[in-house]
Homo-oligomer: A and B are copies of this chain.
Amino acid sequence: MTAFLNSRNAVSAAADPRWHAEAGDPHIVKRLLWTPLLPPNATLVSLMKGVELGTAKRMSEVIAEVAGAPAERIAVVSGPNLAREIAQEQPTATVVACADLERATAVGHASFTRYFRPYTNTDVVGCELGGAVKNVIALACGMAQGMGFGDNTVASLITRGLAETARLGAVLGADPITFAGLAGLGDLVATCSSPLSRNRTFGERLGRGETLEQAQQATLGQVAEGVKSCRSVLELADRHGADVPITRAVEAVCFRGTSPADMVSELMLRAMKRE
């Protein structure tokens, strides 16, 4: 028996849940009162992305805490899964990650269709981290595009963004190979390429010289997820001594008055090193 915990970006088309709890913001999870309704051995499936500000906890950690469930019962679904395209039945692949491979496989079989192809993985930390950092990198890609740069620049940011995600993952115990997979690279590429991505379009505004306030006004008060995530991801990286230059640069543009042009120069002119 499986309960799905969805975010606003949920892949609800992918599942046939017995329970279905919408959570537009990670913080809302804590306020949900559904935990007494969960069967004792239910698999909890998280479709949320992000790191909690203040505690630097991943979403499955928050769920474990709120539901009092062990990590083995919590699965995470992540990948290049823009909801609108799934609703249109466009072919895509995804990852179902769970420390318990049997549960991952069961969730995979439950969601397998001719247009939705799940792969299983036991690296929950890596899959969740990919989903959390991608919004920050998408913001950086948007800034570069807003400054008029092209595909080389964006591809470089995507690649080095994934490298810093993998570095952070390494100190948190993730498998580096996960980041080359669907929940790392796949989700990142879909998010950075899509004109549907709010992070990219928000970044474009910043890249064209708008302030955070101006960009926020233009988007009817909404702030892109990456603006919030850059602070919590940076917090997580600083706690563990991981080097995350792009995340740090995005945070500096959003909250410290650094211009996007200075951000690009600084990223490009660091000392040469091994890949």
Contact = CB atoms under 8 A, between A and B. Distances in A.
Counting chain B CB atoms within 10 Å of each CB, which of A153, A156, A177 scores highest? A156
23 contacts: A80-B151, A80-B152, A80-B155, A80-B156, A85-B150, A90-B150, A91-B149, A92-B153, A93-B159, A95-B275, A105-B272, A112-B272, A115-B268, A151-B193, A155-B189, A155-B190, A156-B186, A158-B189, A159-B189, A162-B185, A181-B275, A185-B185, A193-B193
A86 interface: yes
A81 B269 CA distance: 18
Closest 9 CB pairs of A and B: A80-B155, A92-B152, A155-B190, A159-B186, A119-B275, A93-B156, A180-B180, A155-B189, A151-B194
Nearest to A116: B268
Interface residues of A, number: 64
Contacts of A178: 275
A120 interface: yes
Nearest to A265: B114
Counting chain B CB atoms within 10 Å of each CB, which of A109, A112, A158 scores highest? A158
A273 interface: yes
Interface string A162-197: 110010000000001111111001110110011010
A91 B260 CA distance: 13
Interface of A: 79-82, 85-86, 88, 90-93, 95, 101, 105, 108-109, 112, 114-115, 117-121, 144, 149-156, 158-160, 162-163, 166, 176-182, 185-187, 189-190, 193-194, 196, 264-265, 267-270, 272-275
Counting chain B CB atoms within 10 Å of each CB, which of A105, A182, A264, A275 scores highest? A275
Contacts of A152: 80-82, 85-86, 90-92, 190
A160 B273 CA distance: 28
Contact of A149 (B90, B151, B153): B90
A180 to B, nearest CB: 4
Contacts of A93: 156, 159-160
A158 B181 contact: no
A131 B118 CA distance: 28
A274 B189 contact: no
Contacts of A119: 272-275
Contacts of A118: 272
A268 B117 contact: yes
A214 B86 CA distance: 32
Nearest to A88: B150
B269 A114 contact: yes
Given A120-B273, A158-B189, A269-B114, A163 B151 contact: no
